[in-house]
């Protein structure tokens, strides 16, 4: 338990105005997008890296648990104080874009910077930061790095790890470490930055991030392919990419999502649409954009597309994207609670994976609408249940476990972008053998021998 003397000592480190143990703050920092609640015993706002170091030294000595937190927008409980202790909240003070280096095409940011704020800042000078999680309007870059967030542009541009060049972080003993360099090439020493990325705050507290930037493409156009079936749409995904298409995004919605969009939101979509692929293409010359669209249309038609639509204006583009942006809220017509998992499989396995996922749902009697980032094999699978029916919830979780087993069997992963946190920790044994799980624990022990940093996450 965190007694009064600990509160006083933490106030001496960061100032009384940056330590809170009142009920309002404890509730505000007790939840994330999972809607699961774990109240901390205090919320501490470090002002700078030295504060972080001193807090960790103090908490490590007194065995006080620490949960680093950005915006708390995660879907797996990674930022929840599941074991009490303090929440180390980064968004109040450590939220500055420190540098945009035009010569070396990098940005240096603090962990509390909002993803979209960085995008706007670099685009104002003609540059581009591609990772765009759905939470980009409010999620922090520290959280993005800690979960290795993806997004719709991952099909062409990759995910967060592909843009992290270097980190500054604080180990639980207070040591401040630098991991990586601003240089394009660096093979001196272990890839510590790579270990900290996606570690969900279990190894060290990130205090600074150096990110790679790109020149902003001059032209962007959107497209939509309307298919008669899920299978034809899924075949078009990997076959069009194999044919040379390189879209920025290739987002998928199945027939259940299409019907939900029409029923709940009144969005106009073809009556017989069994699957949609929506995305963007970009380039610095209009001929490249045209080539991409031609390649996609040709491949889509070879795989049974009923209609191929191209948006030529911003208004037309926004209209095409309305369906994808509203996919998640629309599917509540199938159940009051969705058990949402972000599985990922090799793209060529998508047709078979979805076929077998639907079969599992049918066996349990659940609707399983699916949508997501088909261009990189990452699909959001939603098992829809009655949230007030305990038996349905239990059956829904069994259904999810079977889906995880199937995905791993097909060479896929439990999570493409949401992470493991507390929600998926019970399923880690499906994806990793005993030796691999022990290696994770050994790495955790090397960084954090007293297990004060975000304990319980990822099963650690």
- Find the range with the poorest average confidence among 63-72, 127-136, 253-262, 267-276: 267-276
Element at 224 (helix H, strand E): strand 219-227
Q: How many residues are present in the chain?
A: 460
How far is C-alpha 354 from the geometric centre of its chain's CA atoms? 21
In a domain, residue 455? The reply is: no
The answer on pLDDT for 77 being more than 90 is yes
Average pLDDT value for residue range 8-28? 98
Average pLDDT value for residue range 46-60? 98
The answer on pLDDT for 139 being more than 90 is yes
With beta carbons less than 8 A apart as the criterion, state whether 165 and 212 touch: yes
The answer on pLDDT for 269 being more than 90 is no
Same domain, residue pair 268 and 178: no
> What Å distances lie between residue 403 and 27, 78, 361, CA to CA?
33, 22, 9
Average pLDDT value for residue range 101-117? 98
In a domain, residue 43? The reply is: yes
Q: What CATH number is given to the structural domain containing 366?
A: 3.30.70.2740
Q: From start to end of 26-105, where are the E strands? A: 42-44, 66-69, 86-89, 97-101
- Residues in Cβ contact with 224 at an 8 Å cutoff, skipping those fewer than 6 apart: 276, 277, 278, 307, 308, 309, 311, 320
Q: What CATH number is given to the structural domain containing 70?
A: 3.30.43.10
pLDDT at 1: 77
Same domain, residue pair 73 and 159: no
The answer on pLDDT for 117 being more than 90 is yes
- The count of structural domains within the chain is 4
With beta carbons less than 8 A apart as the criterion, state whether 320 and 235 touch: no
Same domain, residue pair 310 and 339: no
pLDDT at 267: 87
Same domain, residue pair 190 and 227: no
Average pLDDT value for residue range 202-219? 98
State the virtual CA torsion across 361, 366, 371, 374 in degrees, nearest 10: 0
In a domain, residue 440? The reply is: no
pLDDT at 272: 81
The answer on pLDDT for 22 being more than 90 is yes
In a domain, residue 279? The reply is: yes
pLDDT at 35: 83
State the virtual CA torsion across 4, 5, 11, 12 in degrees, nearest 10: 160
Same domain, residue pair 140 and 176: yes
pLDDT at 265: 87
Q: What CATH number is given to the structural domain containing 263?
A: 3.30.70.2190
Q: What is the Cα–Cα distance from 458 to 341, expressed in whole angstroms? A: 15
DSSP codes of every residue in 230-251: HHHHHHHHHHHHHTT---S--E
51 lies in which domain range? Answer: 4-92
Q: What is the Cα–Cα distance from 236 to 304, expressed in whole angstroms? A: 8
Element at 265 (helix H, strand E): helix 255-265
User: Could you tell me which of 95, 105, 76 has the C-alpha nearest to residue 200?
Assistant: 76
**Interval 216-233: pLDDT, tens:** 999 999 999 999 999 999
In a domain, residue 204? The reply is: yes
**Interval 176-204: pLDDT, tens:** 999 999 999 999 999 999 999 999 999 99
Average pLDDT value for residue range 91-117? 98
**Interval 323-364: pLDDT, tens:** 999 999 999 999 999 999 999 999 999 999 999 999 999 999
Q: What CATH number is given to the structural domain containing 114?
A: 3.30.465.10
**Interval 406-431: pLDDT, tens:** 999 999 999 999 999 999 999 999 99
185 is written with which tokens?
């090439």
The answer on pLDDT for 40 being more than 90 is yes
Same domain, residue pair 198 and 248: no
pLDDT at 432: 97
Average pLDDT value for residue range 1-9? 93
pTM, to two decimals: 0.95
The answer on pLDDT for 271 being more than 80 is no
Spell out a b/e string for 282-299, using b for 16 or more CB atoms within 10 Å of the CB, else e.
bbeeeebbebbbebbbeb
pLDDT at 364: 97
In a domain, residue 169? The reply is: yes
């Amino acid at each position: 338990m965190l007694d009064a003397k600990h509160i006083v000592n933490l106030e001496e480190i960061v100032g009384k105005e940056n330590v809170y143990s009142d009920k309002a703050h404890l509730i505000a920092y007790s939840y994330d997008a999972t809607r699961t609640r774990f109240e901390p015993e205090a919320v501490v706002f470090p002002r700078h890296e030295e504060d972080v170091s001193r807090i960790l030294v103090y908490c490590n000595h007194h065995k006080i648990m620490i949960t680093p937190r950005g915006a708390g927008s995660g879907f797996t409980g990674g930022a929840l104080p599941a074991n009490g202790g303090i929440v180390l909240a980064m968004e109040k003070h450590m939220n500055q874009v420190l540098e945009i280096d035009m010569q070396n095409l990098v940005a240096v940011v603090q962990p509390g910077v909002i993803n979209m704020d960085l995008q706007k800042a670099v685009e104002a000078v003609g540059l581009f930061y591609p990772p765009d999680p759905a939470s980009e309007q409010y999620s922090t870059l520290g959280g993005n790095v800690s979960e290795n967030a993806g997004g719709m542009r991952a099909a062409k541009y990759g995910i967060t790890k592909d843009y992290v060049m270097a980190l500054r972080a604080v180990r639980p003993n207070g040591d401040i470490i630098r991991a990586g360099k601003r240089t394009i090439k660096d093979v001196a020493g272990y890839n510590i930055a790579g270990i900290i990325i996606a570690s969900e705050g279990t190894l060290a507290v990130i205090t600074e991030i150096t990110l790679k930037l790109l020149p902003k493409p001059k032209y962007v156009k959107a497209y939509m392919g309307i298919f008669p079936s899920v299978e034809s749409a899924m075949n078009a995904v990997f076959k069009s990419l194999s044919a040379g298409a390189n879209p920025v995004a290739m987002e998928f919605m199945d027939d259940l999502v299409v019907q939900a969009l029409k029923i709940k939101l009144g969005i106009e979509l073809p009556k017989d649409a069994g699957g949609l692929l929506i995305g963007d293409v970009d380039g610095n010359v209009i001929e490249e954009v045209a080539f991409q669209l031609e390649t996609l249309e040709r491949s889509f038609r070879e795989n049974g597309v009923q209609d191929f639509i191209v948006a030529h204006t911003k208004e037309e583009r926004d209209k095409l994207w309305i369906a994808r942006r509203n996919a998640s809220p629309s599917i509540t017509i199938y159940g009051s609670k969705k058990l949402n998992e972000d599985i990922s499989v090799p793209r060529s396995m998508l047709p078979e994976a979805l076929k077998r996922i639907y079969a599992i749902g049918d066996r349990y009697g659940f609707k399983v609408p699916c949508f997501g980032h088909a261009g990189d094999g990452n699909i959001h699978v939603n098992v829809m249940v009655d949230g007030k029916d305990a038996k349905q919830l239990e059956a829904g979780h069994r259904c999810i476990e079977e889906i995880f087993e199937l995905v791993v069997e097909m060479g896929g992963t439990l999570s493409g972008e949401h992470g493991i946190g507390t929600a998926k920790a019970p399923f880690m044994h499906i994806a990793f053998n005993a030796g691999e799980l022990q290696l994770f624990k050994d790495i955790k022990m090397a960084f954090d021998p007293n297990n004060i940093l975000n304990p319980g996450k990822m099963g650690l």
